Structure 1
Amino acid sequence: MRNRQLNNLTVLKSIRKELCNGATDAEKLLWQHLKGSQLAGLKFRRQHSIGLFVLDFYCPSERLAIELDGEIHQTSEVRLNDEERQKAIETLEIQVIRFQNAAVMDNLSQVLRDIQQHVKKG
């Protein structure tokens, strides 16, 4: 299931665009530090879809997804959905790491270090 046909399905193009245009402040801030291979020379894509899942950020070379969670992700229903979604993504041999929006806004340097550490462990 690692074929090109799963990446950025046309049916999700408008959703990906809408998510990019409506990015949270935390997504915008983290993107400023991920784009252009600024972090350890890694190429990240934002709002990249694999299958029917749209990932906040994705590094194809590392098969790494980064998801940012706002306050809505604290509700039990959304948390359960996130867990099921993450398990499904991980069946595609993609690692998922999650950060709270507040962590990005309050301690960006630590978030960037955590991403780099995760890549080194992989």
Structure 2
Amino acid sequence: MKAARRDRQAGNLPEVLLLQQLRKRPGGFKFRYQFPCHPYRLDFACLSVRLAIEIDGEVHARGDQPLRDERRDLFLADHGFATLRIPARDVLRDMDSVVAAIVGACRERGPLHQPLAGPPPRSGEE
């Protein structure tokens, strides 16, 4: 919990810039920043559609990091989350396209719960 708070306060530039855009609730979706999903922490999460958004810097292509990312994605999938990985350079180069891709991924997942169509029928009504 304290680590998430520290990271929220000291976030890296691509995450901070994306956070500014996601706080505007694009597409009507609400996003959480540095959301804890034990034992991991998601860069961003849209809980209404169970989408994890990870901003990957260059380190994610080195050493054993790709394998670690794959294990993390499998863990999240087992817990109902799809993972959208976005290169940090894309956030810095074309924010509009990144936000559009995130909103598109949210729409593809659709709402997990259908909105109520109104009150249930009364006894004897259909």
Match of 1:19 in 2: 7
Q: In proportion to residue count, which structure has more helix?
A: 1
1:32 to 20, 27, 37: 20
CA distance in 2, matches of 1:22, 1:78: 22
Calculate percent identity across the aligned residue pairs: 29
The CA deviation string for residues 13-71 of structure 1, in whole angstroms up to 9 with x for no partner, is: 1110122122110000000010142x111111100111211000011111111000011
2:99 is equivalent to residue 121 of structure 1? no
Residues 1:97 and 2:80 aligned together: no
How many pairs are equivalent?
109
Q: TM-score, normalised by structure 2?
A: 0.82
Q: Which runs of 5+ in 2 are unaligned?
A: 110-126
Gaps in structure 1 of 5+ consecutive residues: 1-12
The ranges of structure 1 where at least 4 consecutive aligned residues each deviate by more than 3 angstroms after the TM superposition are none
Q: Which amino acid aligns with 1:34?
A: L
CA RMSD of the aligned region, Å?
A: 1.1
**TM-score, L = length of structure 1:** 0.85
Larger Rg: 2
